Each structure stands twice: as structure tokens, then as C-alpha cells.
Structure 1
Amino acid sequence: MTEHQGRPDNRRERAFNAPAVVIATIALFGAIHLWRVFLSEDADIAVLLRFAFIPARYDPASPYLPGMLGGEGAKLWTFLTYALLHGDWTHLLVNSVAMLAFGSAVAWRFGPLRFLFFSALCAIGGAAAYLALHLDEPQPVSGASAAISGQMAAAMRFMFEAGGPLGAFRRRGRLAFSAPAVPLAPALRNPQVLIFLLAWFGTNIVFGLGGMAIAGETAAIAWEAHIGGFLTGLVLFPLFDPKVARFRDRADASVALPSRPPAPHD
């Protein structure tokens, strides 16, 4: 193989490395958890009471309310800061691997700023879903699983499309993550998407029947938050996707209509 022939392969290999924003996010998770390891038990509990998501914080009649830290401000920031905390190293490792797999695909497509904003909104959506079903729950909730669930929903919208990383006529390198996505309704007719959805929701139903999801001893994130993050990502994907102008039904995609505006998307 000539030197000229070898260059495209090198570019493709680099393209599949994790984006810097994903590596930096995982490193931040690890640094925070390592810092907590060296805290005293009382100090670590104070961190959870100030930064974990605790549904009882929002119940004015909760007997646990006097012990909460952070005041009124914590009612706002904990919708996001809980995603930076993890129950134990296993919890952190599982979330890191999942973010490398699905978050990387989304970050390649969205770019770093859109990726971070999108992930933050999915974390907030997950916390809101958990709060709606556990208003008086005093157990702190932590972990990036809701944000990662949203990343999974976003990745599902383009990973299996023609030209996508797992679709027919798949491309290599960065181009694979720019494959045109179709609106949600046509996408749900894709057997690969349906299998992914059934597997994902089936797994979370099993978690729900078992009680709690992946957890540490003092904090956990439950299946309700996973589903809340997933649904948030599913709904917000077209608003963040930089390829939004390429959304269209498969039946219209092959017809050139220069005078017609882009088909609406969901």
C-alpha cells in the first residue's frame, strides 16, 4: 500500500477515538469520585445532602427537610449536579463505558457544546421524572445514567440509518455519524430501532421490578430517571441535531424538490 493510500485509513482510525468532550466529562466524574473517597463519612454525607437529587427536598411536609443542605438554591442545582456523583466505582465504571459507546457517537454528531447542553437537559428530565413518582423519597439519587439514557435515545435516531455506523451501506470514520436521520415515526419502522427500544425498555422494566437500578450503598439512580432521560433525549434530538435540514421521510428523501421547504420533523 502506498503512502497516499494509507492516509485515509489513518484518518478513519482517529475518527473512532472518543471525542475530547466525552473524555473530559468522564475524567470529571472520576476526579469528583476520587475526591469523595478521601472525605470523612460525615463530609461525604454533606456532599450528598447538598448536591445529590433528593425528592423529599421538594415536599414541604417532609420530616427530612430540616436536615437538607443548600437551602432553596439546592432545589435548582441538584437537578443537574446529581449527575456528577456516583454511588461507587462500579457505578462510575458502568456509566463511563456506556458514555464512551453512546455519548461518543452523539458528541461526534452534535459537537461539544451541543453535546453538553443536550446531556444536561436529559439529566434534568431524568430527575423530573423520578421526582414525579417519588415526591417524598428521602434517599439521595445520583449518577449520570439519565444523561446517558438520553444519549442512547439520540444515538438510536441515526446509528441504524443508511450510511450510519450500524446501518445499511454504512460509512467509516466521522461521516458515519453524520448520516441523515428520518422523523421518529418512520424511524420506528426500522427493525433495528425496534429491537433496540424493546431491549432498552425491557432492561429498565427488569430494574424496576427489582427495586432500584445500579446503585452504591448511599446513593442510586432508579429506572424512572433512566426512562425520563431517554424520553427527553428522544424528544429533544431534532432540536439539537445540526443535520436537522436533512430530516425527511424516506419516501421524500429521493425526490428533489428545490422549491419546497424541508419536511417538518418531530
Structure 2
Amino acid sequence: MQTPRMGGGRMDHERRREPAINLPPVVIGALALLFAIFLVQEFLLSYRTNVMIWQDFGFLPVRYAHSLSQQGWAWLWSPLTYSLLHGGWTHIVFNAIWLAIFGAPVARRIGAVRFLILWVTSAAASAFFFAATDWGAVTVLIGASGVVSAYMGAACRFVFAGGRFLPQAHLGPRLAIADVFRDRTARAFVLVWLAGNLLIAVGVSFAGVSAGEIAWQAHIGGFLFGFLTFPLFDVKRPRTLVF
């Protein structure tokens, strides 16, 4: 009589087939696009050409302080295209990590189409929150951190519900705003995140990056947009909780 072996059979076969990178395809596609654009700029284009790209496709608040008819067409696409550009390895790597962590549960929950719609709308919201707090500035805003912040804000409405976190976080119920702040973990995350960005606003630097180089306004604008509007994207979930 043979002694049965643990871990064999169908369960072991399914475990071996588990993908090494367990991210939704839309998140993988977004990461691939961001890195493809960055690598082309980093290795194939000159600094002068990159400066022109940042000016033409980055978001500049000064464009909207004057007549749009005198600004060309960049005012139309730059509220989106700025989110596809990055200024260095640290910039894109940090955004990619947070996009993978918080974008994944959001994508699993609302699907690829709504995930992309949230990207477009939160990019614009982040940019114009930045513009509203620094109206007429000639500063060029680039980077996906405003969009990533929106996914963080959206995720706060469900990832902490019922004690779940990745990879089953997307199954949690949607929390009302009051319920988010009643949950100890969710409340701590939101308050620490906001406190960190407010410290940047008063000049505190993080990870060796000067506070003046970090668009905290876009972070907060994106987070608030994702946090407050998430129920509009979460249409397949029962609307039993108000927001």
C-alpha cells in the first residue's frame, strides 16, 4: 500500500499554472505603454527633443490663462498626454509600482473600459486641480502620479472592506465615505497619504526628490477625484451605500 503524497493532483497542477505576473491585461498594457514611451525618450531622443515633447504634450497651466486660440492645439490633448510622460527612472518606477498595486484591484472590479475612462478623466481632473492651485504657471506637469492617485482613492472605497486585500480585494463591498473613515485601516491609509502630500506642499522632500519637483496638487486632485467619483464607475455593484 502506497502512502499518499501531499500536494499532488489537480490542485498541484493548477498551482503550477499560476501566472508569474498576476496583473489584469489592461494594467500590463498601461505599464508597457508608459515604459515604451519612456525608453524611446531615454535612449533614442536627444534632450532638446525631449524638452520639445514635454512642452507640446506636457500640461502647462499658463496655456489656460490666455486665449486658447493663441495656444495651438496642445491645450486639447495635454490634459491626457502629460500622464504618459516621465522625467526619469525614479519617477516612472515609483509610478509603475503604485499603478500595479492599486490599479490591479480597480481594473478587476470595474473592467478595462471603465479603467481607461477613469484614467482619462482623472488625468484631466488632476491637471486642472494643479492649474487651479498654480494658475498661469509656466511649470510643465508630467507623469502618471495623478492618475495613480485616483486609483488609490477609488481603491480606498473597497479594498479595505471585510479585511480583504490583494488578490481578492476587488470582491469587497463598496463603502460609503463615512464607512471608509470608520474603518481603522482605511482611515489610517487616507490620513497618512494626505499628510505625506501636505508635507511635500510645505517643502519636505522624500526619497531624495526635491519637494519642488513633486506635483502634490495633482496627487491630491487625482485622489479626491477617484475617491469621490468611484461609485459612478462601479456601476455593476449594488448601490446600497450612499456616497
TM-score tier (shorter): 0.7 to 0.9
TM-aligned CA deviation for residue 242 of structure 1? 4.1
Contact 1:88 1:216 in 2 (8 A): no
Partner of 2:3: none
Say whether residues 1:248 and 2:231 are aligned partners.
no
Partner of 1:26: 31
> Residue type matched to 1:181 in 2?
R
Aligned counterparts of 2:139 and 2:111: Cα–Cα separation in 1: 35
Contact 2:105 2:169 in 1 (8 A): no
> Residue type matched to 2:86 in 1?
H
What is the number of residues matched between the two proteins? 234
- Residue by residue over 1:3-38, the C-alpha shift from the partner in whole angstroms, topping out at 9 and shown as x without a partner, is 234466568x54971111111111111111111122
Contact 1:87 1:216 in 2 (8 A): no
> Residue type matched to 2:131 in 1?
L
Q: Following superposition of structure 1 onto structure 2, how do residues 75-94 of structure 1 map, counting pairs within 5 Å? A: 75-94=75-94
Distance 1:129 1:53, change over 3 A: same
Q: Following superposition of structure 1 onto structure 2, how do residues 146-185 of structure 1 map, counting pairs within 5 Å? A: 146-162=146-162, 164-165=164-165, 173=167, 175-185=168-178
Partner of 2:221: 228
TM-aligned CA deviation for residue 212 of structure 1? 8.1
Partner of 1:188: 181
Aligned counterparts of 1:190 and 1:248: Cα–Cα separation in 2: 18
Q: Percent identity?
A: 36
Which of 228, 232, 235 is the aligned partner of 1:239?
A: 232
Displacement over 4 Å in runs of 4+: 7-11, 13-16, 211-217
Q: Following superposition of structure 1 onto structure 2, how do residues 28-177 of structure 1 map, counting pairs within 5 Å? A: 28-37=33-42, 38-60=44-66, 71-162=71-162, 164-165=164-165, 173=167, 175-177=168-170
Instruction: Flag structure 2 segments of 5+ consecutive residues without an equivalent.
Output: 1-6
Partner of 1:4: 10
TM-aligned CA deviation for residue 112 of structure 1? 1.0
TM-aligned CA deviation for residue 187 of structure 1? 2.3
Which moved further from structure 2: 147-156 or 39-48? 39-48
Aligned counterparts of 1:215 and 1:56: Cα–Cα separation in 2: 28
TM-score normalised according to structure 2 size? 0.86
1:182 aligns to what SS in structure 2?
A: coil
TM-score normalised according to structure 1 size? 0.79
RMSD of the alignment, in Å?
2.8
- Residue by residue over 1:202-227, the C-alpha shift from the partner in whole angstroms, topping out at 9 and shown as x without a partner, is 1101111117888999x955100100
- Residue by residue over 1:128-184, the C-alpha shift from the partner in whole angstroms, topping out at 9 and shown as x without a partner, is 100101112112110000000000011111111016327xxxxxx5x5412211222
